[in-house]
């Protein structure tokens, strides 16, 4: 299945499409080199015909996301982050967004 990625704000860059097979882990990366010290990093996803769903918020620490069977990684300089889906299922096929704010 495919995982589409959309850019939520001009300050972030993401690849437009990632593909994986069910059960094969995938990293969805986001670059945000212009992040400011007061910014938080937000990750959302939008399933087909649904509104956006907030998955995680981070300031600088990486964290496990048990509900997603995943992990949010934040680089030491906060200029990039990645959402790791360890064992994605078909129900995880969605548009994934990262944003700053």
pLDDT along the chain (101 residues), means of 10: 55 77 90 91 92 92 89 95 92 90 87
pLDDT of residue 19: 83
CB 35 within 8 Å of CB 100 = yes
Angle, alpha carbons 71-53-23 (nearest 5°): 45
pLDDT of residue 83: 94
- Domains for the chain: give ranges and CATH numbers: 25-100 (2.60.40.10)
CB 84 within 8 Å of CB 23 = no
């Amino acid at each position: 299945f495919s995982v589409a990625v959309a850019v939520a704000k001009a300050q972030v860059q993401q690849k437009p499409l990632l593909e994986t097979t069910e059960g094969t882990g995938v990293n969805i990366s986001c670059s945000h080199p212009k992040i400011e010290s007061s910014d938080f990093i937000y990750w959302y996803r939008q399933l087909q015909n649904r509104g956006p769903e907030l998955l995680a918020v981070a300031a600088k620490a990486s964290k496990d996301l048990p509900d997603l069977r995943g992990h949010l990684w934040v680089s030491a300089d906060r200029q990039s982050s990645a959402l790791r889906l360890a064992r994605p299922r078909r129900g995880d096929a969605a548009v994934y967004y990262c944003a700053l704010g």
